[in-house]
Amino acid sequence: MANLLVRMLRLEQPVTEGSKLEDELGMSSSQGVQLILDLERDLSIMIDVEDLDQDEMVTVGDLADYITAHATPQ
């Protein structure tokens, strides 16, 4: 996920589990949706976004935990 974020957001700084998606990385909500779509494609998974609360997705680790808990194989 870190590599995808670096590529998508054209970042020069490293991305860690504690990196804040919006405040530090500058990720917008539309980029968050694109990230999920890209992860689904790249990992051949489906991510249930019904319960996705963007207010709870503060860090890269938060997003990774959500994806792990809500992903199913395609």
Q: What does the pLDDT look like over 8-21, one tens digit per residue?
A: 899 998 899 999 99
Q: What is the pTM of this model?
A: 0.83
Nearest Cα to Cα of residue 66 among 39, 41, 42? 39
In the chain, domain spans: 20-73
Q: How is residue 21 written in tokens? A: 């998606």
Q: What is the largest CA-CA distance in the chain?
A: 33
Q: What does the pLDDT look like over 55-68, one tens digit per residue?
A: 888 999 999 998 88
